[in-house]
């Protein structure tokens, strides 16, 4: 009896000493400012960030949704600075206007990681690393696809959020190639703000303006293309046949539309950036040097492969 209680006492001592020794490690406080929830892509991106944070016990995430407003982002980044978070992550809704707040973060010695869209600042030391897609290349892929398929005629371009790098770059890459192809002519160009509902409205105005003279629709994201498909059907034309359609992202509903023959192609853009983001956060805190830029590898999916590929899609 005596011996047993001695063993217990010894065990209790060992446990209390080790509890002391292994003082709980300080968590890494991360503030993340997301753009909003404008598209299925964005929702998948948010899900990836939040679920990845939950998997990592050493991460404490403060997630904030800016509801598409730059001023909300600037405000929340300022509050992250005031709270002295360890790392700030954010996806800029537009390219410009963040310089002052980024300077404040730098002054407070809080590193900034940029995810997905980029910022246009002269002093690139204001952010540590960028993880996202090459959207100029995505625009080029769209143009190359049209040329490879022998598409010809009048193009309606549905632009993403005005001033966002996603819209600027997808247009730039596209125009770079199309300008040397007189058989492809952009006759309409208007922003649908990356949403389904605005995509539908913009397509209605396109159809009112040019009707059957539109041969091709290039939508900067799948959600706008899906909105446009509805408008085209309501107008009495066949999306994917009377008007060829190509868009960017590769969301589940785009694959569904391709299977139904209403969308001709989607250029992939990967939103599942959570794991890479938190790897970068941890590397940074471990003192590792990060590459200035990490570009996501992406593919392009024409409608012919949609049925086979669909079950493998993760967003």
Q: Which residues bind ligand GYE (CB under 6 A)?
A: 38-39, 41-42, 116-117, 166, 194, 221, 223, 248-249, 269
Taking the least distance from each CB to ligand GYE, the nearer of 253 and 282 is 253
Residue 219 CB, shortest distance to ligand GYE, in Å, is 10
- 40-55 and 222-235 helices cross at what angle (nearest 10)? 150
| Shortest distance, position 114 Cβ to ligand GYE, whole Å | 12
Of residues 56 and 220, the one with the C-beta less far from ligand GYE:
220
Shortest distance (Å) from residue 109 CB to ligand GYE: 28
Task: Choose between 114 and 281: whose C-beta lies nearer to ligand GYE.
Answer: 114
Least distance between ligand GYE and beta carbon 164 (Å): 7
Nearer to ligand GYE by Cβ, of 227 and 239: the residue is 227
Contact between residue 303 and residue 267 where contact means Cβ atoms under 8 Å apart: no
Helical ranges in the chain per DSSP H: 2-21, 40-55, 70-82, 99-107, 135-149, 165-178, 196-210, 222-235, 252-259, 274-285, 306-309
Judged by beta carbon, residue 86 or residue 116, the one nearer ligand GYE is: 116
* Least distance to ligand GYE, CB of residue 197, Å: 13
Number of other CB atoms surrounding residue 101 within 10 Å: 21
**Nearest-angstrom CA–CA distance, 1 and 184:** 92
DSSP 239: B
Q: Where are the alpha helices (DSSP H) in 150-195?
A: 165-178
């Amino acid at each position: 009896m005596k011996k047993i209680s001695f063993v217990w006492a010894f065990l209790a001592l060992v446990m209390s000493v080790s509890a002391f020794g292994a003082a709980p490690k300080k968590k890494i406080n991360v503030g993340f400012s997301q753009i909003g929830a404008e598209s299925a892509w964005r929702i998948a991106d948010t899900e990836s960030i939040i679920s990845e944070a939950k998997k990592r016990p050493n991460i404490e995430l403060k997630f904030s949704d800016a509801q598409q407003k730059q001023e909300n982002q600037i405000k929340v980044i300022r509050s992250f600075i005031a709270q002295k978070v360890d790392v700030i992550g954010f996806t800029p809704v537009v390219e410009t206007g963040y310089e002052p707040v980024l300077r404040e973060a730098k002054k407070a010695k809080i590193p900034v990681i940029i995810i997905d869209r980029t910022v246009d600042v002269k002093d690139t030391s204001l952010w540590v690393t960028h993880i996202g897609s090459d959207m100029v290349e995505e625009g080029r892929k769209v143009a190359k696809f049209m040329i490879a398929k022998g598409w010809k005629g009048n193009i309606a371009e549905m632009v993403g959020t005005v001033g966002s790098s996603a819209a600027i770059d997808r247009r730039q890459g596209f125009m770079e190639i199309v300008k040397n192809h007189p058989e492809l002519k952009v006759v309409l160009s208007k922003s649908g703000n990356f949403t389904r509902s605005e995509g539908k409205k913009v397509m209605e105005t396109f159809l009112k303006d040019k009707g059957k003279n539109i041969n091709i629709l290039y939508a900067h994201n799948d959600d706008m293309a899906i909105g446009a498909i509805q408008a085209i059907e309501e107008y009495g034309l066949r999306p994917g046949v009377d008007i060829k359609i190509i868009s960017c992202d590769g969301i589940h509903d785009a694959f569904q539309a391709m299977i139904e023959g209403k969308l001709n192609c989607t250029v992939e853009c990967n939103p599942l950036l959570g794991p890479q983001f938190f790897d970068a956060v941890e590397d940074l805190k471990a003192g590792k040097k990060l590459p200035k830029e990490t570009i996501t590898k992406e593919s392009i999916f024409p409608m012919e492969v949609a049925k086979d590929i669909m079950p493998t899609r993760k967003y």
